[in-house]
Amino acid sequence: MRLKEPDLLEISKWFETALGRMSKVDRQKKMRMRRKIRDEIYLLLTWERPTPSMILNRWEERLSDVLKALPHDSKDELLKLLLKKMQMPKA
């Protein structure tokens, strides 16, 4: 199932909240992280059939510095959010 723009905005908001909780990263580095995150999130609009594991694998490669700076359990929270957003609607 493709992600829609409201879903992407919620994922973006999740990242923004997570970045706000990071105190050890300076402002300029956070700005670079936000840009990378935004680029990766909106690239998802072009994917035909992404899965949460595909998305997370790509982000582990492309956003490794961001994911390393986040708290330990953040990746699990992100996976849960992706799973929730990509569930098939019940008919």
pLDDT tens for 25-58 read 899 999 999 999 999 999 998 888 889 999 999 9
On whether residue 90 sits in a domain, the answer given is no
User: What is the Cα–Cα distance from 27 to 50, expressed in whole angstroms?
Assistant: 32
| 26 DSSP 8-state letter | -
The count of structural domains within the chain is 1
8 Å CB contact between 9 and 57: no
On whether residue 83 sits in a domain, the answer given is no
pLDDT score at 83: 92
User: What is the Cα–Cα distance from 43 to 37, expressed in whole angstroms?
Assistant: 10
Q: pTM of the full predicted structure?
A: 0.85
Question: Is residue 38 classed exposed, middle or buried when 0-12, 13-18 and 19+ CB atoms within 10 A define those classes?
Answer: middle
pLDDT score at 87: 83
User: Whole domain around residue 27: which residue ranges?
Assistant: 5-75
On whether residue 16 sits in a domain, the answer given is yes
8 Å CB contact between 75 and 49: no
pLDDT at 1 over 80: no
Q: Could you report the per-residue pLDDT of 61-72, keeping only the tens digit for each?
A: 999 999 998 888
